[in-house]
Amino acid sequence: MYVVFGIILAVLVLALHERLKGNAAALSQTASIFGLIWVGLVIACGMISNIGLRSVIELSGKEPEQARSVWLAIDSVTEGIGGGNEIVGGLWVLLLSIAALKSNAFCKKLNYLGLFVGVAGIFTVYPADILTEIFGLSQIIWFSWLGYIMLVESS
């Protein structure tokens, strides 16, 4: 799922940059840099998980304790680059929302929600599951609303 999300996110990052670059060029470009970095981290996280899971499954029948140790190591890596640490995604949403506010793109309520989502993502630097959950759930709402607005306005 991470890999698919990363691919779709790449398209969204570029589409939003195109939409905002006219009135908030520097902010849109900076946001896009963080968005594309996030794309790479998300895809890498998914690929590490996929390959790691295969290794753990192969080991689990023969050496269950070693399989558990390998999975703990893989989990630490994936959580560190994007599973439980959403700073880069938070920066992307925050900068994007500031750019959208400056350029009067989208509705203000969506942009303010984006500010909240971005700050929540940055706060995931503190290792508390509740912060990651707040970021994830609020971002689902933000993505859904953004998608709806982009579809309605393009038609």
pLDDT under 70: residue ranges of the chain:
83, 155
Element (H, E) at 1: none
Q: Which of 53, 54, 56, 10 is nearest to 33 (CA)?
A: 10
Q: Exposure of 128 by Cβ count < 10 A (0-12 exposed, 13-18 middle, 19+ buried)?
A: exposed
* Residue carrying structure tokens 């190591």: 73
Q: Exposure of 81 by Cβ count < 10 A (0-12 exposed, 13-18 middle, 19+ buried)?
A: middle
Element (H, E) at 86: none
The pair of three-digit structure tokens given for residue 48, joined into one six-digit string:
């590490």
Query: Residue 129's pLDDT is what?
Result: 87
Query: Residue 155's pLDDT is what?
Result: 60
DSSP state of 128: -
Global pTM reads 0.89
Task: Specify the 3-state DSSP secondary structure of 18.
Answer: helix
Tens-digit pLDDT profile for residues 125-150: 988 889 999 999 999 999 999 999 99
H-helix segments, 22-80: 25-62, 64-78
CA distance 68 to 75: 10
Q: Considering just the CA atoms, what is the radius of gyration of the chain in Å? A: 18
Query: Residue 63's pLDDT is what?
Result: 92
CA distance 16 to 18: 5
